[in-house]
C-alpha cells in the first residue's frame, strides 16, 4: 500500500483554511494512489493554541470543522490532529477520518509541561490505545510526547499495531533532529514497530517548526526523510510493514539555523498581515545579518533600511551600509540624528548641569533612532525589526525604547559568535554582507573610539558562559569548574540576572536553541537569590 505524510504549515485559529489545506493534500494523495495520509499534531487548529483552548467557542468551532472535514474525505483515510472535548474534559487528539465520517479518535497520553510546552494547563491525559486496520496492516497512533516515553508505544504494540503513526508539533532547535531520531529508535527497539513521523512546519510567534518528517523500519533504519522548513507531501510505500520513501539530505547546522530564522520572520510578517519591515542599519554585523535575512525571507521590495548616523558614526560604517543596500537593492533612507541630538541636549542642559557625560547621552542617540523608526512604522505600516542578538539581550547591552524598540527580533536567540558564522554562511550563497562588516571589531558607535569589549568580556567567553548558565542551567561553581575565571562568570551572571526587566519589554523573536528568552525562560525581576555565592 501507499501512505503519505502531509507536512503542512497551518495558521493558528484559521480553521477554515487549515481544513481546506488538509482536504487539498488528501485529494492530491488520493490521486497519487495513497490509501493513508498522516497530518501533524493539532493540524486542524494550529499549534500551540494556548488559552484559546479555554474558550468554549473555540472548542465547538474545532469540532464543527472536524465534522465538516470528515464529511468531505473519501477514497483515502486521513489522520487529523485536533482538540477534542468529551464530557467537559479536553484532549489533544487525533482522529481517523474515512468514508465521510470520524471512524475513531485517540487521546494523547503524555502531556509535555516543560520548556515551551504548557499542555497540562489545557488538556487531560488519555489512556487507551488506538489501533486500526487498513490494507491488511494494523496501524497504531501516538502523538508527539507519547514517543518520548515507552508506555504509549508499547500499548499500541500490545493492542496489535505493526506500524506506529506519530503526529508531531515539535519546534526546531539546533540538534533537535538527532534527538528525535534517538527517541524513535529507542521506541522501535522496545516494540519492534516501524514508525512514520509527521511534523508540523512553519512559524508561530517565537516558535519555528522545521518539518523534517521521517520514517524508520522495525530495525531503526531511516527509510524516508522529508525536507525542512517547507510544506511537502511525502509519498511512502509499505513493504513488509516497513514504510520507505525519498531520503532528503538535511542542511548542516548553519544553513538550518539560517533557514529557521527566515521562516520565522516570513510567517510572522505574513500571518499577521504586515506589508513589510523596517530596520535601522548601522554598518555593524547584527543589522547587516538581519537585513540579509529579511530580504531572503520577504523579498527586497518589502524591506526598508534606514541609516541614522550620529557624530560618532564612522565613515566606514556609512560606506559599508551603502554598499550592502546597493547589493541587495532595498529601499534606503539616510538622515543624520545630530540636529535632533543637539536639540535634546539643549533642552536637558539645565537639568544635566554639573553632571558629567555618561551612558545617558549614548542612550539618547539610540532612543532618537528608535523614535524615528517607530514614526516611519506608524506612517508606512511596516513592522520595525530590532537587530540585537542573544548575547546583548543576556547582559542588557541594549537601550530600552531605543535599539530595543520594534515588533520582532530576528536574532533574539542567536549568540554573537553564531551571528558571525551565519554572516559567513550567507556570503557562501551569494555575496550580500561586505567583508569589512564581518571582520571589523563590533562597536555601538555611541561615543568616540568605542568597542563592545570595552564594556563586556570577549564574546567568545561571554557566549560560552551564557550557554552554560542560560541554556544548560549550570550553576556558577559548575561553570567555573569548566575553566572560566570566577570573576568573568560572576560578572556575566550578574548582568544576566540584572537585565531581566529589559528582556520582559523586548520584542518577540525566533527561538533556535533549547532555551531562549521567551516561553521557556521565566525568571522573576525582583529577586535576591543568587546561586554560587
pLDDT for 224-264, tens place per residue? 999 999 999 999 998 877 899 999 999 999 999 999 999 99
256-280 burial, b for 16+ CB within 10 Å, e for fewer?
A: bbbbbbbbbbbbbbbbeebebbbbb
Q: What is the grid cell recorded at 38? A: 498522516
| Cell (9 digits) for 161 | 499495531
For cell 502531556, the residue is 111
pLDDT at residue 242 in the model: 86
47 membership: H or E segment, kind and range: none
214-216 β-sheet, strand order: 131-134, 137-143, 163-168, 194-199, 214-216, 222-225
So what's the pLDDT on residue 359? 86
Residue 91 CA: distances (Å) to CA of 60, 86, 88, 103 = 13, 8, 10, 17
What is the predicted pLDDT for the residue at 449?
Answer: 61
Domains of the chain: 2-249 (3.60.110.10), 255-452 (3.40.50.620)
Q: Is 331 helix (H, G, I), strand (E, B) or coil?
A: strand
Catalytic residues: 41, 108, 144
**CA 113 – CA 102 distance, rounded (Å):** 29
Report the run of H or E that residue 351 belongs to, with start and end: helix 338-352
CA terminus-to-terminus distance, the chain: 63
Which pLDDT belongs to residue 115? 87
Question: Three cell numbers at 254?
Answer: 548553519
Return the H-helix or E-strand segment holding 223: strand 222-225
Sign of CA dihedral 101, 107, 108, 109: negative
CB 216 within 8 A of CB 194: yes
User: Along the chain (533 residues), what's the average pLDDT of each consecutive run of 10 residues?
Assistant: 97 97 97 97 96 95 97 96 95 97 97 91 96 95 96 96 97 95 96 97 97 96 96 92 91 96 98 96 93 98 95 87 95 94 93 90 91 96 96 92 94 96 96 92 61 74 94 93 92 92 94 92 85 60
Amino acid at each position: 500500500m501507499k501512505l503519505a505524510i502531509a507536512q503542512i504549515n497551518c495558521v493558528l485559529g484559521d480553521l477554515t483554511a487549515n481544513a481546506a489545506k488538509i482536504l487539498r493534500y488528501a485529494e492530491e494523495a488520493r490521486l497519487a494512489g495513497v490509501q493513508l495520509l498522516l497530518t501533524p499534531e493539532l493540524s486542524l487548529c494550529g499549534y500551540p493554541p494556548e488559552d484559546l483552548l479555554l474558550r468554549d467557542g473555540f472548542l465547538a468551532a474545532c469540532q464543527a470543522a472536524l465534522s465538516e472535514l470528515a464529511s468531505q474525505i473519501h477514497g483515502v483515510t486521513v489522520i487529523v490532529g485536533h482538540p477534542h472535548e468529551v464530557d467537559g474534559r479536553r484532549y489533544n487528539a487525533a482522529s481517523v477520518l474515512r468514508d465521510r465520517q470520524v471512524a475513531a479518535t485517540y487521546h494523547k497520553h503524555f502531556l509535555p509541561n516543560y520548556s515551551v510546552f504548557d499542555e497540562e494547563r489545557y488538556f487531560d491525559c488519555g489512556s487507551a490505545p488506538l489501533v486500526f486496520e487498513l490494507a491488511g496492516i494494523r496501524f497504531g497512533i501516538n502523538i508527539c510526547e507519547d514517543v518520548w516515553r515507552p508506555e504509549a508505544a508499547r500499548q499500541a504494540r500490545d493492542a496489535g499495531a505493526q506500524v506506529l503513526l506519530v503526529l508531531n508539533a515539535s519546534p526546531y532547535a539546533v540538534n533537535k533532529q538527532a534527538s528525535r531520531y534517538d527517541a524513535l529508535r529507542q521506541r522501535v527497539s522496545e516494540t519492534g514497530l516501524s514508525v512514520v513521523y509527521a511534523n508540523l512546519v512553519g512559524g508561530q510567534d517565537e516558535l519555528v517548526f522545521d518539518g523534517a518528517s521521517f520514517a524508520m523500519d522495525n530495525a531503526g533504519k531511516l527509510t524516508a526523510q522529508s525536507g525542512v522548513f517547507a510544506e511537502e507531501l511525502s509519498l511512502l510505500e509499505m513493504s513488509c510493514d516497513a514504510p520507505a520513501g525519498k531520503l532528503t539530505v538535511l542542511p548542516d547546522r548553519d544553513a538550518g539555523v539560517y533557514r529557521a530564522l527566515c521562516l520565522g520572520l516570513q510567517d510572522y510578517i505574513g500571518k499577521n498581515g504586515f506589508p513589510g519591515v523596517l530596520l535601522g542599519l548601522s554598518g555593524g554585523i547584527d543589522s547587516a545579518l538581519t537585513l540579509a535575512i529579511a530580504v531572503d525571507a520577504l523579498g527586497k521590495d518589502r524591506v526598508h533600511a534606514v541609516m541614522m548616523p550620529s557624530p560618532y558614526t564612522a565613515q566606514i560604517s556609512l560606506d559599508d551600509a551603502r554598499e550592502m543596500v546597493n547589493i541587495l537593492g532595498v529601499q534606503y533612507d539616510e538622515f543624520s540624528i545630530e540636529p535632533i541630538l543637539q536639540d535634546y541636549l539643549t533642552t536637558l542642559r539645565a537639568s544635566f548641569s554639573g553632571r558629567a557625560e555618561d551612558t545617558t547621552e549614548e542612550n539618547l542617540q539610540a532612543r532618537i533612532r528608535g523614535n524615528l523608526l517607530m514614526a516611519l512604522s506608524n506612517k508606512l505600516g511596516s513592522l520595525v525589526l530590532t537587530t540585537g542578538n542573544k548575547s546583548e539581550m543576556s547582559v542588557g547591552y541594549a537601550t530600552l525604547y531605543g535599539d530595543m524598540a520594534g515588533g520582532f527580533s530576528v536574532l533574539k536567540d542567536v549568540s554573537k559568535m553564531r551571528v558571525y558564522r551565519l554572516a559567513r554562511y550567507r556570503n557562501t550563497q551569494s555575496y550580500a554582507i561586505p567583508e569589512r562588516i564581518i571582520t571589523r571589531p563590533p562597536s555601538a558607535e555611541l561615543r568616540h573610539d568605542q568597542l563592545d569589549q570595552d564594556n563586556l568580556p570577549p564574546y567568545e567567553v561571554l557566549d560560552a558562559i551564557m550557554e552554560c548558565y542560560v541554556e544548560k542551567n549550570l550553576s556558577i561553581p559548575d561553570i567555573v569548574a569548566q575553566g572560566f575565571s570566577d570573576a568573568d562568570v560572576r560578572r556575566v551572571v550578574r548582568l544576566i540576572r540584572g537585565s531581566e526587566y529589559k528582556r520582559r519589554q523586548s520584542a518577540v523573536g525566533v527561538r533556535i536553541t533549547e532555551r531562549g528568552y521567551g516561553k521557556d525562560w521565566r525568571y522573576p525581576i525582583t529577586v535576591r537569590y543568587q546561586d554560587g555565592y
